[in-house]
Amino acid sequence: MDAYERITRNAAEVVTEEEVEALAEDPDGKRAYVGYEPSGVLHIGHLLTANKLIDLQEAGFEVVVLLADVHAYLNDKGTFEEIRETAERMKEQFLAYGLDEDATEFRYGSEFENDEDYVLDLHELERETSISRAERAMSEIKSGDTVRVSQAVYPLMQALDIEYLDVDLAIGGMEQRKVHMLARDVLPKAGHDAPTCLHTPLIADLSTGEGKMSSSTGISISMEDSTEDIAEKVNDAFCPPTANPDGDLENPVLQIFEYHVFPRVEDVVVERPDEYGGDLRYERYAALEADLDSGELHPQDAKTALAGYLDDLIAPGRERLRELRD
């Protein structure tokens, strides 16, 4: 796999392709980052961007993980002390999950976002941005129903962080794309570079295949889940015998195979008793999808295999959480 392929595999969108191609020509020492509002427990959405960070580290990038404590505070996620404490646990779980400790820089937003230079630069972005534009940028991110002034400042700080952390590539889920588009517009107006961005896909709701999975409104899989919890959630998941269900529905079991299992597992094996045809082995996601579509692979067997792989992937983080608690 060449560098461009590794950098962009499983991405929903890159902005722009030309800019990413230029980075892929010499990825060694280039910097990419993801920011996360700290939360105590990682869920499968965090792990999707973490998979991309692992791809980038394999391609030679240095990775910055921003523990966005001030952003979480602005977005009503708790007191500053509570947020700080969850951020430490978040960092430990990322390392347990497989981020390369030597190629990952963990930063707190509050380390630099209160500096005088930063605050003055922020005010400049505030002068360049309409309230309605800032509000629209937050539509997929904000907590609660009312937009507060704090939530309009939020995307401008996210834009400015990209400048202050000196990164070449900004990574985020598709729910971050409007913030990144705002950053691409507004940063150049204040004399900064427009950031290059890569967005990871959103996974459909596990039990219905609709919309996007959300830890706040639906069923998600997290580092706190036991082996039994995972088996039960995956067993109850929506998994029609096709990759292309009717209407706007997706097959979340296949999506998790594609975005979580195949990037981390060399040969995916679906175990079956001999009387049902014996084990199936896949090197590539597309072959598993084709077998589900043709009827060769039964949804129940796919689910059982998926639950086993997800359990393996989260086991180190679950163990780390247990150690931190004891």
Q: Which residues bind ligand NAL (CB under 6 A)?
A: 35-37, 66, 68, 71, 141, 158, 161-162, 176
Closer residue to ligand NAL in complex, CB, 71/260: 71
State the minimum distance, in angstroms, from the CB of residue 140 to ligand NAL. Answer: 8
Q: In whole angstroms, how far apart are CA 286 and each of 257, 282, 307, 324? A: 10, 9, 19, 39
Determine whether the annotation assigns residue 154 to a binding site. yes
Q: Distance from CA of residue 230 to its chain's centroid?
A: 19
Nearest distance in Å: CB 71, ligand NAL: 4
State the pairing for strand pair 13-15/196-200: antiparallel
List Cα–Cα distances, 260 to 50, 221, 279, 312, in angstroms.
Answer: 10, 12, 21, 11
The residue among 161 and 225 lying less far from ligand NAL, judged by its C-beta, is 161
Please indicate if the annotation marks 176 as binding a ligand.
yes
Answer yes or no: is 276 a known binding residue.
no
Which amino acid, residue 195?
P
C-alpha 238: how far from its chain's center?
A: 22
- Tell the smallest beta-carbon distance from residue 196 to ligand NAL (Å): 13
| Residue 150 labelled as part of a binding site | no
Least distance from C-beta 75 to ligand NAL, angstroms? 8
> Is-contact 224 318, C-beta < 8 A?
yes
Q: Which residues contact 8 (CB under 8 A, 6 or more apart)?
A: 14, 20, 198
Nearest residue (beta carbon) to ligand NAL: 35
Token pair listed for 180: 């990144």
Annotated binding site for L-tyrosine: 33, 154, 158, 161, 176
Annotated binding site for ATP: 215
